[in-house]
C-alpha cells in the first residue's frame, strides 16, 4: 500500500466507525425508523477493497451496507439523511438504511435480501464485459448469504461466463444469530471456490493490508479476462445483527472479538512510516467533524413531500 492509500483508508475507516456509532446513538433515541444493521468492526474489508476501485467499478452490497457506501464514495450527508428517512437522503427517504445506493458512484445498493447481490454483480460484470470496459464488479456478501442458493448460481454463472467480478465474503461468524460453523457444511467459504473453478482465498479481514493485497490480485485477474475470484474475509461485527439485538449468541471465545481493525491499522501504519501520529489524529478529528456535519444536515432536512410516495416507480 502507498502512503496516500493508507491515509485514505484510515480516513474512510474512521468515517465508517463514527458514522455507525452515531447511527447507534440516534437509533437509540428513536430518530431512525425501521431496521438498522451496523458495519462497525468490519471496516477493513470495505476500505481494503474500495481503495482499489473507482467510480466506474460497481459494487453490490448487503443489509449491512453503510460501510460499503461510505467507502465507495457515497455522499455521507445524503446517507445519514436517507437513514433518517429525510427528503435530502440519497433515495429521497424512500429506501432507508437497507437500500442506500448511488448508481453514479457505482454503488448498486445495500440490499434487504440476503444473497440478493450475487446475480446483480454478475450482471454488472456482464455489462462491463459486453461493453468492453476496463472495470470490475465486486459482490459483498455475508457468511449467512453463502448458504443461499444464489451463492451457487451466481458464482457458477460468473465462472462459466468468465466475468470480471470479485466475490467478497465478510465472514463475521454469524448469520443473524446462527454461527457459521453450524450453518455451513464446509469449514470455510473460500474452499467452495474450487467447485466453481476459481481461486478462493481466506484472509484476515481485520487486517486491511491483507484484504487490499487479495483484492489487488483479484482485480488483475478479472481485468486480464481470467474471470472471478472468491475472497473470504475473517472478521467480526461489534454490534448485533440489528440494532436492538441482545447478542445472546456471542461468546468470549468468538474469533476476532477482541480485535479492532482501526486500532491495528493505526499502529501498523505509524510503525511502517505510512502515517504519523499527527496525521492519524488529524484524520480522526476530521472524520468526527464529517459525521457531526452529516447528522446536523440530516436532522435539518425536511421529511419527504407526500407527493413523492407516487414518483420514481417507472422511468
Partner 1 sequence: MTKREVTFMTAITEAMAQAMRKDETVILIGTDVAGGAEVDHLVKDDGRYDDAFGGVFGLSKGLVTEFGRGRVIDTPIAEHGYFGAAVGAAATGLRPISELMFNDFIGFALDPILNQGAKMRYMFGGKAKIPLTVRTVHGAGAGAAAQHSQTLYGWFGSIPGVKVVVPSNPYDAKGLMLAAIEDDNLVVFSEDKMLYGMKGDVPEEYYTIEIGKANVVREGTDLTIVAIGKMVQVAQQTAETLQKDDISVEVIDLRTVAPWDQETVLNSVKKTGRLIVIDESNPHNNTATDIASVVADKAFDYLDGPIKTVCAPNTPVPFAHNLEQAYIPDVKKVLTVAEELIIDLQKKAVRV
How far is the C-alpha of 74 from the C-alpha of 106, rounded, in Å? 9
> How many whole angstroms separate alpha carbon 31 and alpha carbon 37?
15
Q: How far is the CB of 63 from partner 1 (least distance, A)?
A: 12
The minimum distance between CB 34 and partner 1, in angstroms, equals: 13
Kindly identify the residues of this chain, within the stretch 241-300, that bind partner 1 according to CB under 8 A: none
Q: Between 159 and 184, name the residue whose CB sits nearer to partner 1.
A: 159
Q: Which residues are within 8 A (CB) of 135 and not within 5 positions of it... i.e. 6 or more apart?
A: 56, 57, 58, 128, 164, 223
Given candidates 13, 53, 70, 157, which one binds partner 1 under the rule CB under 8 A? Answer: 157
Measured from the CB atom, the residue of 14 and 111 that comes closer to partner 1 is 111
Cell numbers given for 102: 448511488
Helices (H) and strands (E) in the chain, counts: 10, 7
Decide if residue 128 touches partner 1 (CB under 8 A).
yes
185 lines the binding site for partner 1 (CB under 8 A): no
Length of the chain measured in residues: 315
Query: In this structure, what is the dihedral angle of CA atoms 281, 214, 135, 168, given to the nearest 10 degrees?
Result: -90
306 binds partner 1 (CB under 8 A): no
- Cβ nearer to partner 1, comparing 185 with 313: 313
Q: Number of residues interacting with partner 1: please give it, by CB under 8 A.
A: 48
Q: How many angstroms separate the CA atoms of 274 and 213, rounded? A: 16
Based on the shown chain and the rule CB under 8 A, indicate whether residue 175 belongs to the binding site for partner 1. Answer: no
Residue 227 makes contact with partner 1 by CB under 8 A? no
Residues paired with 200 in a beta bridge: 230
Interface with partner 1 in residues 41-100 (CB under 8 A): 58, 60, 89-95, 99
Element (H, E) at 231: strand 229-234
Q: Which of 127, 247, 281, 285 is the binder for partner 1 (CB under 8 A)? A: 127
One of 120, 206, 210, 275 touching partner 1 (CB under 8 A) = 120
Taking CB under 8 A as the rule, does residue 109 contact partner 1? yes
What residues from 130 to 149 belong to the interface with partner 1 (CB under 8 A)? 130-131, 137, 149
End-to-end CA distance of the chain: 42
Q: Cβ–Cβ contacts within 10 Å for residue 149, how many?
A: 9
Q: How far is the CB of 247 from partner 1 (least distance, A)?
A: 27
Residues whose CB falls within 8 Å of the CB of residue 31, separated by 6 or more in sequence, listed in order: 84, 299
Give residues in contact with partner 1 (CB under 8 A).
58, 60, 89-95, 99, 101-104, 108-109, 111-113, 116, 118-128, 130-131, 137, 149-150, 152-154, 156-157, 160-161, 311-315
Amino acid at each position: 500500500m502507498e502512503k496516500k492509500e493508507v491515509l485514505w483508508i484510515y480516513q474512510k475507516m474512521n468515517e465508517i466507525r463514527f458514522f455507525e456509532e452515531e447511527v447507534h446513538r440516534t437509533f437509540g433515541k428513536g430518530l431512525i425508523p425501521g431496521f438498522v444493521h451496523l458495519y462497525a468492526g468490519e471496516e477493513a474489508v470495505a476500505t481494503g477493497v474500495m481503495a482499489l476501485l473507482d467510480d466506474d467499478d460497481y459494487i453490490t452490497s448487503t443489509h449491512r451496507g453503510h460501510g460499503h457506501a461510505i467507502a465507495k464514495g457515497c455522499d455521507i450527508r445524503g446517507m445519514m439523511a436517507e437513514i433518517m428517512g429525510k427528503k435530502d437522503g440519497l433515495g429521497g427517504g424512500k429506501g432507508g438504511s437497507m437500500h442506500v445506493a448511488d448508481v453514479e458512484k457505482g454503488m448498486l445498493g445495500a440490499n434487504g435480501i440476503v444473497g440478493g447481490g450475487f446475480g446483480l454483480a454478475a450482471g454488472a460484470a456482464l455489462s462491463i464485459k459486453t461493453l468492453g470496459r476496463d472495470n470490475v464488479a465486486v459482490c459483498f456478501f455475508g457468511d449467512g448469504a453463502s448458504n443461499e442458493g444464489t451463492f451457487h448460481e451466481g458464482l457458477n454463472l460468473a465462472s462459466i461466463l468468465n466475468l470480471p467480478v470479485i466475490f467478497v465474503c465478510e465472514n463475521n461468524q454469524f448469520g443473524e444469530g446462527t454461527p457459521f460453523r453450524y450453518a455451513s457444511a464446509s469449514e470455510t467459504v473460500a474452499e467452495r471456490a474450487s467447485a466453481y473453478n476459481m481461486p478462493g482465498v481466506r484472509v484476515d479481514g481485520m487486517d486491511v493490508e491483507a484484504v487490499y493485497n487479495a483484492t489487488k490480485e483479484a482485480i488483475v485477474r478479472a481485468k486480464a479476462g481470467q474471470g472471478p475470484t472468491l475472497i473470504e474475509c475473517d472478521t467480526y461485527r461489534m454490534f448485533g445483527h440489528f440494532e436492538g439485538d441482545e447478542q445472546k449468541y456471542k461468546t468470549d471465545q468468538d474469533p476476532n472479538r477482541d480485535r479492532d481493525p482501526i486500532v491495528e491499522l493505526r499502529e501498523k501504519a505509524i510503525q511502517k512510516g505510512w502515517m504519523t501520529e499527527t496525521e492519524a489524529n488529524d484524520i480522526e478529528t476530521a472524520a468526527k467533524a464529517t459525521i457531526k456535519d452529516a447528522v446536523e444536515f440530516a436532522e435539518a432536512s425536511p421529511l419527504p413531500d407526500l407527493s413523492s410516495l407516487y414518483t420514481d416507480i417507472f422511468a
